[in-house]
Structure 1
Amino acid sequence: MRIYIISIISIIILNVIIISLVIRWYRNNILRQYNNFLNKADEILSGKPIDIMYDESIDSAISERLNRIVEISRMQKEVAEEERDIIKSLLSNISHQIRTPLTNITLYAGLLKDEVKESSAFRLADKIEKNAEKLEFFMKELLKSSYAEQEIISVKPKIVELDKVMKKSCQSVELDAMKKNIHVSSEYTNYKVFADLKWTEEVFTNIIENAIKYSPNGTEIIIKSILYESFVCVQIIDNGIGIPEQEQGKIFQRFYRGSNVTDKQGFGIGLYLAREVLRKQQGYMKIKSGLNNGTTVEVFLSRRAF
């Protein structure tokens, strides 16, 4: 009887041990599968293709489905990038197509005002000119708003001549400066920078437009460049209304406008767009300003490819 009891106890203990071993094996197997799945997920996140063992195992099935997800995601990304490039090109073309007739309307209205002396005809010509200017302003702001979307800002920087960028930017704002009798003085150098030609031109155009907009008639805007070891710093210095000190940390926010510029046209997009473009090509910008003491914008562009 005693031997029988001992045998029963031994069998029970053996079963407990076997069950414990089975549970431990099962847990280790599940843990291994989880770790394998996590490793495959890490490979996907790093952009690496997953090696598939074509068998009937669960690992093979998971790997095959993950690869299908990656492929679908890649195809969708390519379509999105293609559509983004089409939209960007379309917006750019529309902008250039509209800008020429608007400029001509403004020019002809100004010439008409010089020719007509009758008060009624003069007033009509003046209204045509002012409305054309408003339409041009809203067209520019619409373009900036669309460019401000992250997916549309696609920079392709390379080594370019800084002078070429600055000359194009100054030419873009020449008419605005003439209307306010503001002289834009720019010193040209032989410096070269690592930047996207078109987008960097947009950066400086926005900054100089702001300098003109917020400066009194008949003043001067000075543009100069300083060479550093890793960067070229371009300074745009105006004698405008300046920025209150407590608001200087907010001016790069999209759609933010200072409390002292509410009477001026604008949507608070230009500086945000400029900062995002510079960030994407490893550049940055600083603002030095005082209320009624003018503003100095410093744009830092890398001298080397990265």
Structure 2
Amino acid sequence: MKRLNDMLDSAITSSFSETMFDESMLSAVETRMANYLSASVLSARNLSGERDKIKTLLADISHQTKTPIANILLYAELLNEQRLPEESKSSLEVLKGQAEKLAFLVDALVKISRLESGVLVLSSKQQSVQPLLEQVLEQAIPKAAAKRIRIKVNFDHAEGTACYDLKWTAEALYNLLDNAIKYTAPGGEIQLAVKTYELFLRMDVSDNGIGISEEELPRIFSRFYRSPAVSETEGVGIGLYLSRQIITGQGGYIKVQSTPDAGSIFSVYLPLEK
């Protein structure tokens, strides 16, 4: 048993080598472990190679799609500066809106693919949540103001820290705020609150919008899922899925409470330590 334990320790540190060459059972175990480790190393190399191929493919897709979409938007802006009949102007607005939607969709799909394939690694570190909240609010407040929606912030616990990736967590939290703004009527209110627990820091995004029915709650984090109740509202059904992927990828999780016609509360839990 001691020899088996030493063999496993050597395998863990990648220093394993066969030392017995006889017909004993222990020698047979060493031989089989050597074969297993050789296969594992080969599998790891193949996996690394496939990941590199996926990384290259995603970079190509991102580059090859962003350039033509950017050109469409550019020419749409140039056409908008010309004297056009009223019916042409309305068609141009539709063209521009669809191009912007396509740009968002491609960008979101590339991000999801990177996260799911392991190409994109979240770099979590322990830091204050103040910069996170400030960055997200800077993006969300102008959009909320355009709908006369008030964002009320509870910063009583904002001096707290958590373990998270600033760039990607800001995107996840902004997606929740963006949804709250989108599905809250003009003149409504959204609250952003922070609270620290023993193991997690919780951030709540609360609104008094249209809410979500109980039977739909298990499906809202599915990729491309959109409720029939919001089919006329702009969106592609990726935001919540992407947010959950980002948060769970850092050891956290998202919970939701909602009542139809009364509003929703999305709670993000970030670990305090790695």
Whether these two folds match at TM > 0.5 is: yes
CA distance in 2, matches of 1:55, 1:92: 49
Q: Is 2:185 aligned against 1:216?
A: yes
CA distance in 2, matches of 1:215, 1:88: 38
User: Which of 9, 12, 23 is equivalent to 1:57?
Assistant: 23
In the aligned structure 2, how far is the partner of 1:116 from the partner of 1:279?
51
Instruction: Give the Cα separation in 2 of the matches to 1:274 and 1:136.
Output: 18
Q: What is the distance in 1 between the residues matched to 2:237 and 2:60? A: 23
Q: How does 1:249-260 map to 2 (within 5 A)?
A: 249-260=218-229
Partner Cα distance (2:211, 2:108) in 1: 22
Which residue does the alignment assign to 1:131?
98
1:226-265 equivalent positions in 2, closer than 5 A: 226-265=195-234
Normalised to the residue count of structure 1, the TM-score between the two structures is: 0.66
Q: What corresponds to 1:30 in structure 2?
A: none
SS in 1 for 2:215: helix
1:194 shift after superposition:
0.8
Question: CA 1:238 to 1:121, structure 2 compared with 1: closer, same or farther past 3 Å?
Answer: same
CA distance in 1, matches of 2:223, 2:51: 21
Contact persistence 2:115–2:121 (CA under 8 A): no
By how many angstroms is 1:297 displaced? Answer: 0.7
Q: How does 1:262-281 map to 2 (within 5 A)?
A: 262-281=231-250
Q: Where does residue 288 of structure 1 map in the other structure? A: 257
- The answer (yes or no) to whether the contact 2:17–2:34 under 8 Å persists in 1 is no
**1:154 is aligned to 2:121:** yes
Distance 1:135 1:109, change over 3 A: same
Which AA in structure 1 matches 2:268?
A: V
Quickly say closer, same or farther: Cα 1:89–1:168, change in 2 above 3 A. Answer: farther
**Aligned-pair Cα RMSD in Å:** 4.3
**Counterpart contact for 1:110–1:125, Cα < 8 Å:** no
Tell me which structure has the larger Cα radius of gyration.
1
Aligned partners of 1:109 and 1:129 also within 8 Å:
yes
Conservation of the 8 A alpha-carbon contact between 2:20 and 2:30: no
Cα 1:65–1:286 change in 2 (3 A) is same
| Aligned-pair identity (%) | 33
Inter-partner Cα distance in structure 2 for 1:104 and 1:190? 44
Q: Is residue 11–residue 37 contact of structure 2 (8 Å, CA) maintained in 1?
A: no
In 2, the alpha carbon distance for the partners of 1:43 and 1:300 equals 36
Q: Is the 8 A contact 1:153 1:277 kept in 2?
A: no
Q: SS where residue 244 of structure 1 aligns?
A: coil
Larger helix fraction of residues = 1
Which piece of structure 1 moves more, 101-110 or 213-222?
101-110
Q: CA deviation at 1:278?
A: 2.6
1:198 maps onto 2:167 in alignment: yes
Give the Å deviation of 1:146.
1.6
Instruction: Report how far residue 240 of structure 1 moved.
Output: 2.2
C-alpha distance in structure 1 between counterparts of 2:261 and 2:143, whole Å = 21
SS state at 1:289 partner: strand
Task: Describe the SS at the equivalent of 1:156.
Answer: coil
Question: How many corresponding residue pairs?
Answer: 270
Unaligned runs of 5+ in 2: none
Matched, 1:168 2:135: yes
| Distance in 2 separating the partners of 1:172 and 1:94 | 27
Alignment of 1:27-46 (within 5 A): none
Alpha-carbon distance, 1:159 to partner: 0.7
Contact 1:187–1:224 (CA<8 Å) still a contact in 2? Answer: yes
Letter in 1 for 2:21: D
Structure 1 unaligned residues grouped into runs of 5+: 1-34
Gap change, CA 1:260 and 1:150, over 3 Å in 2: farther
| Matches of 1:237 and 1:292, distance apart in 2 | 13
